[in-house]
Copies of this chain bind each other. A is one copy, B any other.
Amino acid sequence: MKFEAKIRVQYYETDSMGIVHHSNYIRYFETARTEMMREAGLPYDAMEKAGVWMPVLSVNVEYKMPALYDEVISVFCRIEKLRGASLDVAYEVRGEDGRLCAVGSSSHGFTDPDLKPVRMKKEQPEMYEVFSRMASEE
């Protein structure tokens, strides 16, 4: 995967097992996804201001090896599939030593602030173009 977000694991993200609580990977995914969009020239903030939201339709994570306090994890991500009003993103989380911590994916709709679908290609051709370019990258 091309895009890589580096994230330092925080103390408040650990739990009694001494590892990152599993719910936080969903948040790491969000961070990586928004960084990828920023790099592509389409910060999520700007999308929301333009009236396009990207609510999460589904998410899944497979946990392989725990991420640990204070390590700088790498969250790789890429757009796996782009459709007219939705997209899928794939993720891979690796520890500082390169070990695979987790893999996962999320699906998102494109909607207006009332959560009604936005047909991107027609209604937001420029945004669609950016996603299209991202999706065609390896």
Q: Which stretch (A62-70, A73-81, A122-130) binds chain B?
A: A62-70
Q: Is the CB of A30 within 8 A of B11?
A: yes
- Size bin of chain A's contact surface: 35 or more
Question: What 0/1 readout, one digit per residue, does chain A (1-40) give for beta carbons within 8 Å of chain B?
Answer: 0000000101110111110011110110011001000000
Residue contact B31 to A26, C-beta cutoff 8 Å? no
Chain A residues close to B by CB (< 8 Å): 8, 10-12, 14-18, 21-24, 26-27, 30-31, 34, 43-45, 48, 53, 55-63, 66, 69-70, 115
> Main SS of chain A's interface residues?
mixed
Q: Are A15 and B11 in contact (CB under 8 A)?
A: yes
